[in-house]
């Protein structure tokens, strides 16, 4: 296959860039008063990208030492025993006074900001003062941080980031990496680097566009799909926009009858096969977007033998209110709009599974890796109408009917013996993608990393996905540096800001960086906080996360005013609109929808993702303009969030979460919630399969015993923490290690069954829908459709289930052990 590559010089033009217009200029930040020394667009080679490394030696007692010498002691004038006595007495005096001051100086009530926040950590002349310093001072930092964040600056960043298309592997990939680097440097982050990885990407061939045709019974072309979306505002009127395509779809030119497969979920195909006896082998299938990840749709189509797959956005899912009142007037998808997107089912550069795409890396052959094997192409609903109205055969069930003005039939019979032809001419190509990393060094524990991140690449402008998140992150970095520079604060732990490349293709930039740095991250990462699309609606806050972070998310959202109802906190609005089963707001499980996936699944770093979103009562699977050309700055500014107050609220939550993990004496993880979540999830599995298990004489008793052990250990561990009065740095460190390594407890280097690189045994992307996360995915997969198996397959499969449950039991027992080891802190 590689001989078919169009060899396009790196960083010059991708095949769809008809003009080589100097796109870099568009990226100059809108902040002339802060200097225009951007290096965007320069040709510095990758090897010298890294910003100057600034090693800080700001350990808390360096002042102490200097102070001691300045005072002139240590000259040896007095007999030694006087020193002994004096030391004991004076030190005791100093200590006691320090204690008293600490007591008196403590705020009398919760939540008030001292009139003059300290300009730096308390002086550490005494041991006690130093111990006091270890405790940090949270409240004034929170208030100051939320106050410093500025919606206007977020807007400015978003404007800068959405001036040009942000497709991965193009010259803009590098330009924006430098833009982010320059911003970080401007704020004065302690270290900034740009990291390039050469990875396999995929583009449509502009000389040979992809088309879907309707052919009449003589094979003559009757209809041809649009190659481009129509420009509806001046903003979209440019020539460097990648035409709609699905990344990694294999090239092909296939013709045949068309079958409508609803959302192309597994259950849709099984319904066709079992209830309607429709065999799709050799047919072209057409599926609407929505409900599940498009890569799973394509995988299902392939599994069931389809010759090709056409994806389209139905108004039922993307223009719910109307097909006329659409973008640019509303956020609904117009008929020309097409959702782009990757079909890749794994994570990271397809050519280097398990290892980073260093220049020295071995690249697998494309035929040895899991890439789509059938042609796939996406279209809008204007074009889809022309195809669907040709389908005959059985009428599709009511729940399959979309919202276009026609009767949705299943096929495969077509009206007037017409056929459909699908022509895909994509090129897989190795290009560099760039990731920018910025560090704020921690004052006391620089080797503990609180990691924030988002990707930078988009299919087109990406005003929501991902640039709304990037704009927030840049403002967040600025705010932290203001607290450092102007308020004398510095976080206890290091904060790392990550701007990933090539997320859209398969979470590639983050995966490769994690693979390169996996040893350090596995030891040092506290957690990973992802904000991809910061704002995709203005109805309510939404979060997905590890259960270890639920409480921290609740706490942070309680401190931020909700923009939709200013009398409420984000938390209060959230719990009103999305109540969970336990009296708290509902928080979802992480799948593989964004860059958190490799942190959680490969390393076991607790992760979360949040945003402001639309009303779930709309029943839509994503915001309508998702991955279309119309996801513009206008969508954000003109339609969703004119004052950027939702962006600001998300940034404030992010800021407070980052502060709480970067600066708290004891990390705000909660281990008990993990037990509750595991119990709920296993209870549900048990409910759904109890009869089946009983019949096999199989039970989950051992697992539940281990779970009780875990819950007890978690309860005792938190009770121990709650009663802790120490600030012994070693004891604190040890407790925090246990908290942050809890997630690592669930990592099995041997992977889930048949999923070697999905190492988290409790949570993983669903194997049926990569967007969403499953609890106990190995167990769900093992029992999937097991009651339809004959013998001896069923017995063999039950044996695998039994083995996997024993593995889960071991990991839950192991997690309990890590919380209750020999010594409470041992």
Q: For residues 616, 618, 619 and 621, what is the CA-based torsion angle, rounded to 10 degrees?
A: -80
Q: Which of 288, 300, 441, 659 binds a copy of itself (CB under 8 A)?
A: 441
**CA 11 to each of CA 40, 125, 431, 620, 751: distance values in angstroms, whole numbers, following the listed order:** 13, 55, 8, 37, 37
Which two structure tokens, joined as six digits, stand for 739? Answer: 């908290």
CB 144 within 8 A of CB 7: no
CA distance 708 to 702: 10
Q: Scanning residues 89 to 118, which ones bind a copy of itself (CB under 8 A)?
A: 90-101, 103-104
CB 215 within 8 A of CB 419: yes
Binding window for a copy of itself (CB under 8 A); candidates: 39-47, 417-425, 440-448, 546-554: 440-448
**b/e sequence 359-387, b meaning 16+ C-beta within 10 Å:** eebebeebeebebbebbbbbbbbbbbbbb
Q: Scanning residues 675 to 714, which ones bind a copy of itself (CB under 8 A)?
A: 702, 705-706
Using the rule CB under 8 A, is 737 a contact of a copy of itself?
yes
Q: Which is nearer to a copy of itself, 195 or 650 (CB)?
A: 195
Using the rule CB under 8 A, is 228 a contact of a copy of itself?
no
Question: How many C-beta neighbours within 10 Å does residue 777 have?
Answer: 25
Using the rule CB under 8 A, is 53 a contact of a copy of itself?
yes
Tell me the closest approach of the beta carbon of residue 575 to a copy of itself, in angstroms: 35
Sign of the dihedral through C-alpha 255, 258, 263, 268: negative
Using the rule CB under 8 A, is 494 a contact of a copy of itself?
yes
Using the rule CB under 8 A, is 730 a contact of a copy of itself?
yes
Q: Which is nearer to a copy of itself, 81 or 275 (CB)?
A: 81
**Residue (of 825, 776, 74, 169) closest to 456 by Cα position:** 169
Q: Scanning residues 752 to 771, which ones bind a copy of itself (CB under 8 A)?
A: 756, 759
Q: Which is nearer to a copy of itself, 483 or 707 (CB)?
A: 707
Which two structure tokens, joined as six digits, stand for 219? Answer: 């094979």
268: alpha, beta or left? (left if phi > 0; alpha if psi -120 to 50): alpha
Q: Scanning residues 6 to 25, which ones bind a copy of itself (CB under 8 A)?
A: none
Q: Which of 26, 63, 231, 355 binds a copy of itself (CB under 8 A)?
A: 355
Using the rule CB under 8 A, is 803 a contact of a copy of itself?
yes
Binding window for a copy of itself (CB under 8 A); candidates: 128-136, 338-346, 690-698, 774-782: 128-136
CA distance 18 to 206: 8
Q: Which is nearer to a copy of itself, 527 or 635 (CB)?
A: 527
Q: Which is nearer to a copy of itself, 566 or 803 (CB)?
A: 803
Using the rule CB under 8 A, is 278 a contact of a copy of itself?
no
Binding window for a copy of itself (CB under 8 A); candidates: 204-212, 291-299, 557-565, 732-740: 732-740
CA distance 498 to 180: 10
Binding window for a copy of itself (CB under 8 A); candidates: 218-226, 273-281, 562-570, 749-757: 749-757
Q: Which of 2, 4, 20, 87 binds a copy of itself (CB under 8 A)?
A: 87
Q: Which of 6, 10, 26, 61 binds a copy of itself (CB under 8 A)?
A: 61
> Which secondary structure element, helix H or strand E, spans residue 70, and what is its range?
helix 62-70
Using the rule CB under 8 A, is 719 a contact of a copy of itself?
no
Using the rule CB under 8 A, is 123 a contact of a copy of itself?
yes
CB 718 within 8 A of CB 670: yes
**Residue 272, exposed/middle/buried by CB under 10 A (0-12, 13-18, 19+)?**
buried
Q: Could you tell me how many helices (H) and strands (E) the chain has, helices first?
A: 23, 19
Which two structure tokens, joined as six digits, stand for 258? Answer: 């068309």
**Residue (of 436, 440, 527, 447) closest to 483 by Cα position:** 440
The SS3 of residue 663 is helix
Using the rule CB under 8 A, is 439 a contact of a copy of itself?
yes
CA distance 316 to 293: 17
CA distance 154 to 724: 40
Using the rule CB under 8 A, is 84 a contact of a copy of itself?
yes
Q: Which is nearer to a copy of itself, 229 or 445 (CB)?
A: 445
For residue 338, the number of C-alpha atoms closer than 13 Å in the C-beta half-sphere is 27
Using the rule CB under 8 A, is 518 a contact of a copy of itself?
yes
CA distance 584 to 541: 13
> Which secondary structure element, helix H or strand E, spans residue 613, and what is its range?
strand 607-613
Give me the 375-414 binding string for a copy of itself, x by CB under 8 A, dash otherwise. ----------------------------------------
Q: Which is nearer to a copy of itself, 177 or 192 (CB)?
A: 192
Give me the 191-210 binding string for a copy of itself, x by CB under 8 A, dash otherwise. x-------------------
Q: Which of 41, 127, 143, 316 binds a copy of itself (CB under 8 A)?
A: 127
Q: Which of 7, 617, 691, 822 binds a copy of itself (CB under 8 A)?
A: 822
Using the rule CB under 8 A, is 83 a contact of a copy of itself?
yes
CA distance 281 to 350: 27
Give me the 565-604 binding string for a copy of itself, x by CB under 8 A, dash otherwise. ----------------------------------------
Using the rule CB under 8 A, is 30 a contact of a copy of itself?
no
Q: How many residues bind a copy of itself (CB under 8 A)?
A: 103
Using the rule CB under 8 A, is 729 a contact of a copy of itself?
yes
For residue 812, the number of C-alpha atoms closer than 13 Å in the C-beta half-sphere is 29
Q: Which is nearer to a copy of itself, 421 or 813 (CB)?
A: 813
Binding window for a copy of itself (CB under 8 A); candidates: 54-62, 148-156, 198-206, 763-771: 54-62
Using the rule CB under 8 A, is 45 a contact of a copy of itself?
no
CA distance 287 to 149: 43
Binding window for a copy of itself (CB under 8 A); candidates: 60-68, 113-121, 399-407, 653-661: 60-68
Tell me the closest approach of the beta carbon of residue 450 to a copy of itself, in angstroms: 13
Binding window for a copy of itself (CB under 8 A); candidates: 109-117, 298-306, 311-319, 443-451: 443-451
The SS3 of residue 222 is strand
CB 527 within 8 A of CB 608: yes
Listed in sequence order, the residues at least 6 apart from 696 whose beta carbon sits closer than 8 Å to its beta carbon are 798
Q: Which of 516, 672, 774, 781 binds a copy of itself (CB under 8 A)?
A: 516
Q: Which is nearer to a copy of itself, 61 or 554 (CB)?
A: 61
Q: Scanning residues 607 to 666, which ones bind a copy of itself (CB under 8 A)?
A: none
């Amino acid at each position: 296959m590689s001989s078919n590559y169009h060899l396009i010089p790196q960083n010059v033009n991708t095949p769809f860039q008809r003009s080589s217009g100097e796109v870099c200029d568009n990226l100059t930040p809108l902040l002339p008063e802060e200097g225009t020394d951007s290096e965007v667009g320069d040709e510095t080679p990758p090897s010298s990208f890294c910003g100057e490394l600034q090693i800080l030696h700001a350990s808390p007692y360096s002042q102490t030492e200097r102070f001691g010498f300045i005072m002139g002691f240590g000259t040896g004038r007095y007999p030694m025993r006087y020193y002994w006595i004096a030391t004991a007495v004076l030190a005791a005096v100093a200590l006691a006074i320090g204690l008293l001051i600490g007591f008196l100086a403590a705020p009398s009530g919760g939540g008030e900001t001292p009139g003059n926040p300290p300009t730096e950590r308390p002086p550490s002349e005494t041991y006690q003062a130093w111990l006091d310093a270890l405790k940090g001072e949270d409240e004034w930092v929170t208030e100051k941080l939320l106050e410093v964040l500025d919606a206007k600056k977020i807007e400015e960043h978003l404007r800068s980031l959405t001036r040009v298309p942000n497709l991965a592997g193009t010259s803009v990939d590098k330009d924006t990496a430098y833009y982010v680097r320059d911003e970080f440097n401007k704020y004065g982050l302690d270290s900034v680097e740009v990291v390039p990885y050469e990875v396999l990407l995929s583009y449509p061939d502009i000389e040979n566009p992809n088309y879907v045709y309707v052919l009449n019974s003589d094979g003559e072309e009757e209809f041809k799909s649009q190659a481009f979306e129509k420009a509806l505002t001046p903003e979209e009127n440019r020539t460097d926009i990648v035409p709609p395509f699905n990344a990694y779809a294999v090239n092909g030119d296939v013709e045949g009858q068309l079958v409508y497969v609803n959302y192309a979920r597994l259950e849709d195909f099984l319904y066709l096969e079992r209830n309607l006896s429709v065999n799709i082998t050799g047919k072209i299938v057409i599926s609407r977007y929505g409900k599940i990840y498009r890569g799973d749709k394509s995988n299902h189509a392939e599994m069931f033998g389809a010759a090709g797959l056409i994806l389209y956005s139905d108004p039922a899912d993307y223009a719910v209110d109307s097909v006329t009142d659409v973008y640019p007037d509303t956020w609904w998808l117009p008929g020309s709009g097409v959702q782009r997107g990757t079909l890749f089912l794994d994570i990271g550069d397809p050519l280097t599974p398990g290892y980073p795409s260093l220049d020295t890396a071995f690249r697998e052959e494309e035929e040895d890796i899991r890439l789509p094997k059938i042609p796939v192409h996406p279209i809008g609903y204007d074009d889809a109408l022309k195809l669907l109205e040709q389908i005959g055969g059985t009428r599709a069930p009511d729940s399959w009917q979309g919202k276009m003005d026609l009767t949705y039939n299943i096929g495969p019979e077509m009206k007037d013996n017409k056929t459909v032809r699908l022509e895909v001419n994509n090129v897989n190509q190795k290009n560099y993608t760039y990731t920018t990393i910025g560090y704020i060094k921690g004052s006391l524990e620089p080797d503990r990393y609180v990691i924030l991140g988002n990707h930078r690449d988009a299919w087109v402008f990406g005003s929501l996905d991902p640039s709304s998140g990037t704009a927030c992150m840049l403002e967040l970095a600025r705010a932290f540096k203001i607290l450092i520079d102007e308020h004398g604060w510095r976080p206890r732990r290091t904060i790392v800001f990550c701007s990933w490349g090539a997320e859209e293709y398969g979470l590639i930039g983050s995966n490769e960086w994690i693979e390169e740095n996996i040893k350090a991250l596995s030891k040092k990462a506290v957690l990973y906080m992802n904000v991809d699309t910061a704002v995709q609606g203005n109805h309510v806050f939404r979060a997905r996360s590890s259960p270890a972070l639920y409480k921290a998310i609740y706490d942070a959202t309680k401190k931020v005013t909700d923009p939709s109802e200013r009398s409420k906190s984000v938390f209060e609005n959230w719990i009103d609109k999305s109540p969970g089963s336990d009296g708290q707001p509902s928080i979802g499980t992480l799948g593989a929808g964004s860059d958190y996936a490799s942190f959680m699944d490969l390393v076991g770093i607790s992760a979360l993702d949040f945003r402001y979103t639309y009303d779930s009562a709309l029943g839509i699977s994503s915001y309508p303009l998702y991955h279309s050309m119309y996801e513009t700055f206008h969508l954000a500014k003109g339609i969703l969030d004119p004052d950027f107050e939702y962006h600001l609220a998300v940034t404030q939550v992010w800021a407070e979460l980052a502060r709480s993990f970067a600066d708290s004496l004891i990390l705000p993880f909660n281990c008990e919630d993990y037990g509750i979540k595991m119990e709920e999830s296993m209870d549900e599995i048990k409910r759904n399969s109890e009869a089946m298990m009983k019949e096999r004489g199989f039970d989950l008793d051992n697992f539940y015993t281990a779970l009780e052990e875990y819950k007890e250990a978690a309860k005792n561990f938190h009770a121990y923490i709650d009663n802790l009065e120490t600030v012994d740095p070693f004891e604190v460190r040890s407790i925090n290690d246990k908290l942050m390594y809890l997630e690592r407890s669930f990592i099995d280097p041997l992977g889930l069954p048949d999923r070697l690189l999905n190492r988290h045994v409790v949570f993983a992307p669903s194997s049926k829908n990569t967007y969403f996360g499953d609890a106990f995915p190995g167990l769900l997969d093992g029992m999937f459709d097991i009651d339809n198996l004959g013998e001896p397959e069923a017995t063999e499969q039950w044996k695998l289930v039994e083995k996997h449950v024993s593995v889960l039991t071991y990991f839950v027992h192991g997690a309990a052990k890590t919380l209750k080891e020999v010594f409470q802190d041992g």
